[in-house]
Amino acid sequence: MDFVASVVTGVATLTQVMEDGRTQTVGLLFPSDFVGRPGRDAAPYNVIATTDVMMCCFRKKPFEELMARTPHIGQRLLEMTLDELDAAREWMLLLGRKTAREKIASLLAIVARRDASLQGQVRQRQVTFDLPLTREAMADYLGLTLETVSRQISALKREGIIELAGKRTVNVPDLDRLIEEAADDADGGMPG
Amino acid sequence: MDFVASVVTGVATLTQVMEDGRTQTVGLLFPSDFVGRPGRDAAPYNVIATTDVMMCCFRKKPFEELMARTPHIGQRLLEMTLDELDAAREWMLLLGRKTAREKIASLLAIVARRDASLQGQVRQRQVTFDLPLTREAMADYLGLTLETVSRQISALKREGIIELAGKRTVNVPDLDRLIEEAADDADGGMPG
DNA sequence: CGTGCGGTTGATGATCATCAATTTTGGTGG
DNA sequence: CCACCAAAATTGATGATCATCAACCGCACG
């Protein structure tokens, strides 16, 4: 990796793989998210596009020089890294302590929110969005198997908490109800 | 939190608690680790000393002014935050994909290493150290129950992978064997 | 000499993983 | 446009791992 980048459109995942193949996704990359680590040569992660992705790339060397000349950029990068750290730690709580159902609900709520905020929408009761991940990719992010993901999604559908149009398009009739299922305190850990 | 700090001696944990009491530790704080987030007012975590702790504290306001005047400090802070992010992501792999036994072995290996590096020791086959955590604190860090922690430690002891002197003092006759049990690739994710 | 905290161990059960069989979907070429 | 194929997803049966509930031990401390 001799460049850094910013996601413009599409969604990618940041994943870690063990020798025996067990896979854990450690981050989702949405539009506006930053990829790469100035000052570090190697990233121990795989970046995998889960939809068509457009990224805005910078060679690392010139970018670092720019950073050195412009302290503001370094500050901004620290801000973003702190946000990523918060997100990672919230995910640790999910991975360590939430049930399968809570995990699914949390993921759906997060995607719903990121999707809504991309479209500049405010908080609404009813939301529709496209899942940018396969069941397997969701499983790798949630620390589950794809079968468990499928079953829990089916359960949420049966109970009317979500509705599916095709496999990927999700409609949430009552976002608050979904967030309850996620067992997050207050606002689900999202800023704002 | 109107101050930032650096741990001088002792060990503390950074934890997150759900409304119903489920607890997840999201970071261990060893000597030399930094606590607090310049530019942020509230930290959504509890800092809990698990041994006697001595910290070197700075009021946040003057510290931030110092940062603004000294770009080097900001760079250093970005470095440290990136390291924390790596640690958090490694822990996500542990929480999402490792078995109870692998989790315990991973934690022991990490504590062994941090302890060894504090004493300026190089990599040795045989290591002895003190566990700075109760079984419950370990459980909260590993996403397990304290009973499972106890059982897995007993199992590692039975198999001769670790030896206990009292409840807290651990001797590892063959560190490589412990690291194998941790199922980490290469060096277990630690720098160096 | 109790009392409480930390720890161990056992019995049982729930959740989720695994293995396996089908079905659905989206894409491609006839 | 339809048939066909592979990938994705669903669903079922079974089992392993880990959580839960509970009893008990040892030690430090008042």
Greater pLDDT, B189 or A35: A35
- pLDDT of amino acid A186: 60
Identify protein residues whose C-beta is within 7 angstroms of any atom in strand D: A 134-136, 146-147, 149-151, 153-154, 164, 167-168; B 99-101, 143-145, 147-148
Q: Which residue of B has its CA nearest to A92?
A: B92
B18 touches chain A (CB under 8 A): yes
pTM for the complete prediction? Answer: 0.94
Residue A185 pLDDT: 76
Contacts of A84 in chain B (CB under 8 A): 85
pLDDT tens-digit profile of B87-109? Answer: 999 999 999 999 999 999 999 99
For A103, name the nearest residue in chain B, comparing CA atoms only: B96
Helix (H) or strand (E) segment spanning residue A28: strand A23-29
Q: pLDDT band at B84, cuts 50/70/90?
A: very high
Report the C-alpha gap between A67 and B79 in whole angstroms. 14
* Residues B147-185: tens digit of each pLDDT: 999 999 999 999 999 999 999 999 999 999 999 999 997
The stretches in chain A having pLDDT less than 70 are 186-192
pLDDT of A30: 95
Contact B85 A89 (CB under 8 A): no
Chain B residues whose beta carbon lies within 8 Å of the beta carbon of residue A89? 14, 16, 26-27, 45, 88
Calpha distance B55→B112 (Å, rounded): 22
Residues of A in contact with B192 (CB under 8 A): none
Direct distance between the N- and C-terminal alpha carbons of chain A, in angstroms, rounded to an integer: 33
Contact in structure between A105 and A170 (CB atoms under 8 Å): no
| Distance in Å, alpha carbon of B127 to nearest chain A alpha carbon | 26
Helices B146-158 and B135-142, packing angle to 10 deg: 100
Count of residues in chain A: 192
User: What one-character DSSP code corresponds to residue B179?
Assistant: H
Strand B46-49 versus strand B163-165 pairing type: unpaired
Distance from CA of A65 to the nearest CA of B (A): 13
- pLDDT tens for residues B18-74? 999 999 999 999 999 999 998 888 788 999 999 999 999 999 999 999 999 998 999
What pLDDT was estimated at residue A190?
46
